[in-house]
Structure formats: structure tokens, C-alpha cells
Chains A and B, each alone.
Chain A
Amino acid sequence: MHKDLLRLARSERAVRLHLLVCAVAAVLAGLLVLAQAELLSGVLSGAFTTAALLPLAAVVVVRALFGGLQGVAAGRTATALKSVLRGRLLSRLRDLGPARLTAHRSGELVTLAGRGLDALDPYITGYLPAVAVAGVVPLAVLVRLFVADLGTAVIVLLTLPLIPVFGALVGWQTKAVTERQWRALSRLGGHFLDVVRGLPTLRAFGRARYQATVIRQVADAHRSATMRTLRVAFLSSLVLELVASLSLALVAVPVGLRLLSGSLDLRTALLVLLLAPEAYIPLRAMGTKFHAAMEGVAAADDTFAVLEPDPEPAPEPEPEPESAPGSRRAPRPAPATDEAATGGDPAVLPPQGVPEIRLENVTVRYPGREDAALDDVSLVVAPGERLALVGESGAGKSTLLHLLLGFVTPSEGRVLVGGVDLSALDVDLWRRRLAFVPQRPHLFATSVADNIRLGSSASPEEVRAAAEAARAGEFVAALPEGYATVIGERGAGLSAGQRQRIALARAFCRPDAEMLLLDEPTARLDGRSEAAIVEATRTLAEGRTAVIVAHRPAMIDLADRVVRVEAGKVVSDHLVPRPSGGAEPVREPRTPDGAEPAQEPRTSGGAQVGGSR
């Protein structure tokens, strides 16, 4: 039995009720077999007249009704439980946030929350009712046998425990092997899918046909390993089968001999013959259903593993109201640790207006990686500044954006927003003031309009205006149903540039955003699409602080200031001269405690540093 699953089933009222109905119906249907045996043996032995066939038919009808009820209730239990689990799983995924979500294999999570949970069906609809029946019916049969014929009852009583004992013994022995085989099987499926997905690449290098033999070899190796295991594992069912059928022989032969001697009447003998197997059937059915439910157990394990709180909990919000202003000018070499926290106050509201962003000796580490993604970075972004982050891929540019978004938290150091520690802010309120365009924006399987107004309730006019501003208006209008066109799987049917422009339109759809975070918005685009994005970005950045991870000159050209990141460190930091042209770049490295250009007061939201073009 799956403890977590049962606890969940008990705690949810709807699930509990359906499960109860299902179990009771199953048990009643099982007990009616006794009545059926009673009547049938009576008729066959001549003790009852054929008129007793009528109540026999009635028993059969009621049994069938209970069986049907069990099925319906089982279906209701399964759907209710799956819905609860799915809901919790998805809430958990959302709570994990994008940064920690990548630690899990996202593809497997999608499968788990989608079709993976369906593997629970055999467990709930098959195994759980079988357990209930196995708990009651064999006992009832034994009691009836004791009343009817002591000898038979003793034989059944002695052999019956062999089934669970052998089942448990062999099951316990083969559990590890079975689980290993199960994992191997899913690995095999994963390997095949991997090869199919990569077929174009294999074809390009003439390895496609060779892989066909690899598929065959891997599968053959898996088969012979599995068969070796199964030859042993199935011995368990052989033993169980033998116990059950030999017990019947053990019952039938002495009963026959005692009939011969006249010490037993035919009606009792037939009853014993009909009832004895019924003692074993529920136990064996439970074993079989358990086998079928193994996959569901694995799915339940996976689900509860995701639902369990992380061993490495996310850093708690650390409100430090009074330390924040004091530490503004003094970067602290040590990480912002718990000692500084003064209590469990709720998040401090972020200050209004375009805030200054200040990174103080920030180090970010991802679990399981040795190198820090950001290593002791200190950086000040003035209000209204347009900052381009450049550097090799993997240098830590995206991590810096994720830091500002609150997707990742510093392992050491801290991020100050207008002088307040970001970890102390209500992250949802803070994100409302941001507009983010990721490198590969996800387009949702809804209409274009809903994709643009993501998270807001913008009117159709506002959506249209945002699309126009993002240079997306033209191609959206050309779509079959315009803004109502439903976008296919992950933006299928749209080019990379079009997807990027929809993501930019999202940003335009938040007119109140004070800070713009763009992650390589033109990375995969050709020159003309790039020009459109650059122009749109230029408009979008007006009156806002913008941090843009950029590769292309045209994008970098937008910036007032270029910061180069290498291996998690800031290696150069200079202002871009105005007007853009052939002039030498003015190198002016800036650190939090270094010289800074005159800073606009926070209240002047639209202030520009370094002039505008």
C-alpha cells in the first residue's frame, strides 16, 4: 500500500467517500459469492428444488449490480485522486519557479502531470478494491467452512497463509530486480525516443541505418536480461498457483472419500468444493492487481518526490528593514546571512518610481555545479540607464537577469532595489514592475491576443497597440483569424522573429513596467527581423531602466553602457559615447563604491542617463 497516496485519499472528502463506496461494494459482491455457492450446492445436491434457481438468479443480479457500483465508484475515486494530485503537482511546479524547475527534467514533469498520473488507474480501480476484498472474503469463507466441514476448513486455514507469505517472500526478493527492470524499460523507451528525435542529425552523418541495429541490440540485451529475471520472478506465481490448485485437490479427494464412507452429505461436499477456491481467489487477485499497479506506484513515488519540500530549501525572505538603508553605500563582503534578519515581517513594498539596482558582491551557485554562475559581482544600474550585458554564452548573463527577476537568489551578497534588499520584497509585486523578454519566449497554446496580454487584462485595443509597437501588427493581421488565432504547439507556425515580436508585445502590454529585461532578443534572427526588434526595443526602453543581454552590434548600440561578463565576473564596464560613431569609448569602470555618474533622483521616472538619441 502506498502510504502517501492513502493519506491523501483519506484527507480528501470526495476521494474518501468514493473509495469507501467502492470498497464496500466490492466486499459485498464478494460475500454474495457465498450465498451463490449455498444456493447452487443446494440445487445440485437435490436439497433444494429448482425453484431455488430464482433466488440464485436474484443473487447473481445483485452481485452484478454491486460489481457495477464498484466500477463506477472506483472510476470516481481515480479521477478525483488524479485531479487532486495533478493540482498539487502543478501548484508545486509553479512554486518551484523557473530556475529550480530546470533542475528537474521538465519533459518528464510534463509527462508525469499529464499522462503519467493515469498509471494510477490500475492501482486505484484494481488494487485497492482487491485489497478490501482480500481482507474480508477469505475470512468469511473460512468461517462458513468451519461451520460446514471442519476437515476442509483446517486444510484451507493451513494452506491459505502460504499465499501471502510466499507472495511477500518472493515479492520481497524480486522487488529490487523488478524495479531495476522497470527503470531499464523506461530507459529503453527514452533511448528510442532520443534516437527518433535526433534522426535528422544521424541522417546527416550517415549514422541513421547503423542506429537501427543499435536499437535492435539494446532491445535484445534488455530482453534477455528481463527474461532471466522473469524466470525467477514468475516462480512466485507458480508457487501461488500450485498452492491454490493443490489445495482444491487436497479438499476434493478426502471429501470424496468421506462421501464414499457416508460421513458427509452431498450438499456440504458441493458447498465445500464451490467455496474452497473462493478463499484463495481474492488473495491471488490482489497479487495480480498489485503487479499491474506497479507502474502506478512508480508514478505515485515520482509525484510525491516532486511534492516533497526540497532538501535544500529556498532561502527564506530576509526582511532587514533597518539594515537596508545603512548598507547602501557599504558593500558587505559576507553574504547577507540570517543574523542580519530581524524578524518575520512580511515583505516590504518596493519603493515607487524607477529604482536604482545595486548588486553587492553577489555570488550565485546552482546546485550540483562547482563553478559559481556569478562570482562576487558588484554592479549599479542607475534609474533610466540602458545597460547592455555582453559576453560568451554561459558567462552568467542570463543568471544576472534571473537574479533581478527573483528566479534565483544570491548564495552570497545581495541585490538592492532602491536601497531595499530584493529578498525582502514581495516578489510578485516586484515582478509587476518588470517586463521580461526571454531568449526563447514560450508561446502558449491560446490565442495571439491572450499570449500578448499574458497576466494582464488588457483590452483588445491595448493588445493591438502593443502588437503595433512591437512591429507585430502586420503579421498578426495576416494570420487566419488575426488576434484570435490559436497558436500551435510551442508557437508552431510562427517564425523565430515573429515569436520574438509577440514576446516584445507582451512587454509593451505592461505600460507601467519600470524596468525592461531582455535576453538576447535578436539571437536567432536575420538582419531585417533584427532591425524591427531593435527599433521596437528602442521605443520600449524609453523612460525605463533596461538591462539587455546582447550579442549583436545593433542591439548593443542601443545601450548607454556596456558591461562585459566572463566566467561569472564583470571584466569591463564602459559608457558608450554619444553620439554613436567613431569616437573612442570612454572607459569608466564603476563599482558600487567607485565613482558614479550623477544619479538622477528616483522620483524622476523617465530620466535618462547618458542622453538619448
Chain B
Amino acid sequence: MSTGTLPGTTASERAASPNGRGLLAGMGGRMLAAVAAGAAAELAALGLIGAAAWLITRAAEQPPLAALSVAIVAVRAFATSRGLFRYGERLAGHDVALRAQATTRERLYAALIPSGPLGHRGADLLSRMVDDTDAVQDLLVRCLQPALAAAVTAVAAVTLGAFLLPAAALVLLAGLLVAGLLLPAGAAAAARRWSARVAPARAELAARVADLVHGSADLAAYGAGERALAASAESDAKLAALERRQSRANAAALALGTLVQGLTVAAIVLVAHRAGIGQVPTAVLALTALVSFEPVLPLAAAGERFAGVTAALRRLREVQATPAAVPEPAAPAPPPDAPLTVRVADLVVRHAAGRAPALDGVSLTLTPGRRVAVVGPSGAGKSTLLSALMRTVDFEAGRILINDTDVRELSPDDVRAMITGLTQDPYVFRATLRDNLRLAGPEADEEELARAVHRARLSTWVERIGWDVTLGEDGRTVSGGQLQRLALARALLHDPEILLLDEPAESLDGATADALMADLLDVTHGRTTLLVTHRLHGLESVDEIIVLSGGRVTQRGHHDELVAVPGYYRDLWESEALTAPAS
């Protein structure tokens, strides 16, 4: 996970990586404009105070008025231009930030497409990953841009000092280096150290809070709310103690910055007095030194943020370095033409090295119009078989042929265009019902949508809530059964060459499930279909039934053959038949 070049990551995917350096390449010009405007604003501030100091101390020597005119003009010019530069800096900076965010998100998303199932990442981890994409804009706008502007200002101040009194310039340089490099580095190191301790405390609190909210029914029913509340208060106290100590470190950095600025100015005045360079240069030196710290002091906070940014970028790189679940062939073969025959031979799939194979030598053939059902206990490898066919997980051994073309020679996208359907854990998007359905058929007209809904036995629900109701919102407005039928409607609307159905009747009640299965077997008649199910009702009509157990085919054949012999299938059939009349 940590190295960038893993087998299976193609060059194009690596290029689309959400890392800061790659990103900067795309917008160097805009970034430069923002930095230049920021530096110009800081230089104008420096010039303003320098010119004003010179004007006043020189005026005290009562020279002719003409000697001051340049300084007067400079004071006014710097005063006016500073605001304008700042305005430009802020606009350019926000533009860069928004572009960076958009690009990072797009690239992160593109990097996720070829990866395997996302489910194992967990919802909270996923949202943190989305937050991490903000790190890139912070890197540019909150770290890099102020650091560069401060550096330009510091160089200008030190250069000016060097002309007036080299010794004073050295003092200034030392002060600026401490405030601009040492303090930010220290702040970053402290932030890294603290976040290593704060992050687990924060995660613990988040878990407790999530438990309180998501488990509220369980807690209320079992009268355990008080205890859960106390546990979250305890986590909160732990986190608060850590945060207090962290804020102490930040306060120290702040105080040190003030100290360095004041002492540097005092030292410069001392050095200038000792050198006896006179009032005018001394005042200019002291006041420009004072102002040159203004853009430098905030860098301590930038250093603190930088620690978070690097951690976020590292996480994003890890996501991006996750090898594609299925390698994309360098030169994909053209997808075969329909009608399609799929041949699976001795397929072995292992989810992780060292683990027992999820599929261990499975073979099956789907000729055009043939319908095959896969049954077996949970964990038998049924869904893995579908994932392998959809090329979202790769296989270790064996072959999958589509019309004699090896799927490894085809682009996984092309394979999914032919073989897809109702997958595990369908998702409801925060969008209208219509859009949620139409994603499976962007070209579909109203009639086709209505037909898909009808076939999925979803019409009553759709009529009740309407096509334009927004779904999603944590998936609460859609019950498990409705979600399942919505997913089925999507699959039917998409109408792939080879239809996969993973537990289409899951979480439906008995009567509806049986009716849905009957309808399903009706509409899929004559269509190439692979059906994963744990209900055997209606399986008399499919061409072949495969019983999987522990990744192996333990039984296969037609319903009548399987019922005739003792085994898993007959056991399940008998238990279903026994209880069927109750509905």
C-alpha cells in the first residue's frame, strides 16, 4: 500500500494521482499570480513603513522640502497599492483553492474507479477521505502561498538592511530564520506528535457518538442510553485533555514569535547605535524590521497546518496506490459481438494472499438464453462469482471466456457493459427517484422507466411517492425491500446481454418475494441470466442450478435431479416446502 508502483497500477492511473506536486503542474501560472500579488502586498507594506520612517526622521533634520517629495510620493503610492495587491491576492488565491479542490476530487474519484469494492473502507473512513481532498487546497493557499510571499518580503527586508548596515541585516536574517523556519518546523513537529495522540481519541469519540445516534433504538429499548452517554462524555473528556495540551504548544509558538520579533528589533537598534549610522537609517532599519515579521509570524500556524496536510496527502497517495482490483490490459481487445456465450473454467479467486480461496475451481457455461441459478450458504462464494464475472475482483487461476475472448484481454468497463445487473449493496443517491433509476439507462424514455418499475413490482410505491421525490438522505426514506426492487428496476432497465441478479428477493416478505421471483423468471425467459438466490421457489424453470459451498461446486443439475438426491439443495427445498403454506 505504501509504494507507488504496484503490479496492476497502470501508467495512466498513476498520472491521475491526487498528490500535491502533480496538481501544481496544472496551475503553476495561477499559483504564481497569487504568490506575486501576495508578495507585492507585503512589499508595499514594507515600503510604506520604510518610506514613512525615512520621511519623518529625515524631516526632523529639516532639509529643503524638495528632498522629501520622493518619500511623500512613495508613501502615498505604497499606501494605495497595498490594498489593490491584497485584493488581487485574495481573488487569485481563492481561485486556485477552488480549482485545486475540483481537480483533486476528480482525480481521487478517477483513481477509485478501478479499485475494488469500497465497502470495506467504512462510511466514516470514506468521508474522511473526501475531507482529505481539501488538504491540497490548504497546501497551496494556506501553506505554500504565504510561505513564498513571506520569503520574498524577508529577502527584500534583509537586502535593504544589507545596504544600510550589514551587521543589522545579519541580525534581522537570524530573527526571520528563527520565526520563519524554526518556529514553523517546531509547530509542524508538535502538530504531528499531537495528532498522533489526538486522532485516536477523536476516532473513539466519533465511534461513541455514532453508536449513540445509529444505535438509538437499541439503546432506548434496552435502557442503556445513560451508560452510552457517560461513555461518550468520558471519551470527550479524554479528547479535551489532549486538545488543551495541544493548545499549550500552539500558544508557546505564538509567544515565541512575538518574543523573536521584539528582541530582533531591539538588537538591531542596539547594533545600529553602536555602529553610529545615524538616526535616519536606524529608524528605517528598525521599522522595516518590525514590519518584515508581519507575514513571517503566521507561518507557525501554517507549519501546524502543513503537518495535517502532509498526513492527508499521504492517505490520498495510499488510496491512489491501491492497486486496481483488475488490471486494465495495455491494448484491450475489441468486445465480442452478441449473442454471447460465457465460459467459466476452473475459476480460483482469493480475496487476499494467504487466505483460503473464496472460489476454488468453479466452472459454468452460460450459452445465449440459458439461465443458471447459484445457491448455497452465506460465505459460499456466490457474490464473489458475480464480482469475478463483472471484473471487479480478479481471479488467480482458471479462465473466463466471452465468445472465446479471454476477459483478461478485454477492458473491465467493456466486460461490465455486457455482464451486469443487480449487485450486492445497491446504493440510493441523493437524487430524484427518476434520476436514481435513470442512471441505469440514461437514454430511457418515460415508458421504459415505467415498464422497469412495473416489472420490479415497484409501481404502487412509485405512484404513491411520485417520480420526483428526492431519495437518499442516509437512505432512510427507502426501506430495504424498496431499495432491492429499485435496484432490480435498474437492472431490468439497463438490460445487459448477460443479466446478473444477486439475491433479487432479499429483504422482501415471503409472498412478495415469491411473486417477484415468479415475475423475474418470467421476464428473464430466453435471456442469459445468472441468478444468485437463497430461495428455491420457482427454480424448477431454470436450466441449471449450481450449489456452492466453501467456494466449490458441491452439486449441479436441474431442479428435479437435485431434489432426487440427498444434500444441501434437498434440505433447503424441504424446509422451504414445509413452511410455505403459512403465507
Contact = CB atoms under 8 A, between A and B. Distances in A.
A367 interface: no
Contacts of A65: 255
Given A199-B118, A238-B86, A523-B507, A454 B218 contact: yes
B21 to A, nearest CB: 21
Contacts of A212: 106, 109-110, 113
Contacts of A211: 109
A60 B379 CA distance: 70
B223 A223 contact: no
Residue from the set A255, A435, A528 with the largest chain B CB neighbour count within 10 Å:
A528
B286 interface: yes
A331 B3 CA distance: 72
A455 B79 contact: no
Contact of A93 (B84, B216, B256): B216
Given A237-B90, A260-B62, A101 B236 contact: no
Interface residues on A, range: 35 or more
13 contacts: A45-B60, A63-B258, A71-B251, A78-B247, A115-B206, A216-B102, A230-B90, A231-B91, A245-B79, A256-B68, A439-B480, A490-B214, A526-B378
A209 interface: yes
Interface string A464-494: 0000000000000000000000001110100
Interface size class of B (residues with CB under 8 A): 35 or more
B579 A64 contact: no
Interface stretch (A166-174, A266-274, A318-326, A372-380): A266-274
Contact of A553 (B91, B113, B490, B510): B510
B222 A442 contact: no
Given A67-B258, A444-B211, A553-B579, A434 B221 contact: yes
Interface stretch (A103-111, A153-161, A352-360, A416-424): A103-111
Interface stretch (B357-365, B415-423, B448-456, B520-528): B415-423
B59 A75 contact: no
B283 A56 contact: no
A143 interface: no
B288 interface: no
B94 A106 contact: no
Nearest to A276: B52
Contact of A68 (B91, B98, B251, B423): B251
A445 interface: yes
B355 interface: no
A335 B521 CA distance: 47
Chain B interface mostly: helix
Given A238-B86, A428-B223, A393 B217 contact: no
A75 B251 contact: yes
Contacts of A246: 79-80
A391 B207 CA distance: 35
A21 to B, nearest CB: 12
Contacts of A44: 57, 269, 279, 282-283, 286
Contact of B430 (A50, A98, A191, A525): A191
Interface string B360-397: 00000000000000001111000000000010100000
Contacts of B250: 71, 75
B71 interface: yes
A101 B219 CA distance: 13
B11 to A, nearest CB: 18
A438 B218 contact: yes
Interface in A250-305: 252-253, 255-257, 259-260, 262, 265-266, 269-270, 273-274
Nearest to B505: A551
B429 A194 contact: yes
Contacts of B57: 44, 266, 270
A531 B279 CA distance: 96
B98 A223 contact: yes
Interface string A31-52: 0000010001001111000100
A576 B60 contact: no
Given A220-B102, A428-B223, 16 more contacts: A44-B286, A68-B254, A71-B251, A75-B246, A90-B232, A97-B216, A106-B474, A193-B130, A237-B90, A256-B58, A269-B59, A394-B479, A441-B218, A510-B222, A526-B377, A553-B583
B254 A270 contact: no
A440 to B, nearest CB: 8
B91 A234 contact: yes
A114 interface: yes
A196 B583 contact: no
B318 interface: no
A351 to B, nearest CB: 19
Interface stretch (A4-12, A79-87, A131-139, A594-602): A79-87
B259 A83 contact: no
A557 interface: yes
A556 B286 CA distance: 89
A260 to B, nearest CB: 5
Interface stretch (A200-208, A307-315, A340-348, A603-611): A200-208
A24 interface: no
A40 B126 CA distance: 55
Contact of B76 (A70, A253, A520): A253
A28 interface: no
A254 to B, nearest CB: 10
B75 A64 contact: no
Interface of chain A, main secondary structure: helix
A150 interface: no
B55 A256 contact: yes
Contact of B262 (A56, A93, A209, A238): A56
A442 B119 contact: no
B206 A110 contact: yes
Contacts of B482: 393-394
A165 interface: no
* Residue among A110, A189, A428 with most chain B CB within 10 A: A110
A198 interface: yes
B86 A237 contact: yes
A215 B582 contact: no
A432 B110 contact: no
B123 interface: yes
A259 B262 contact: no
Contacts of A205: 420, 439-440, 490, 494
Contact of A200 (B119, B244, B265): B119
Contacts of B243: 75, 78-79
Contacts of B487: 201
Contacts of B423: 200-201, 204
A194 B430 contact: yes
B56 A255 contact: yes
Nearest to B460: A392
A209 B80 CA distance: 49
Nearest to B81: A245
A216 B82 CA distance: 35
Contacts of A510: 222
Contacts of A57: 262-263, 266
Contacts of A503: 218
B335 to A, nearest CB: 12
A431 interface: yes
Interface string B390-417: 1010000000000000000000010011
B213 A109 contact: yes
B126 to A, nearest CB: 6
Contact of A489 (B124, B228, B430): B124
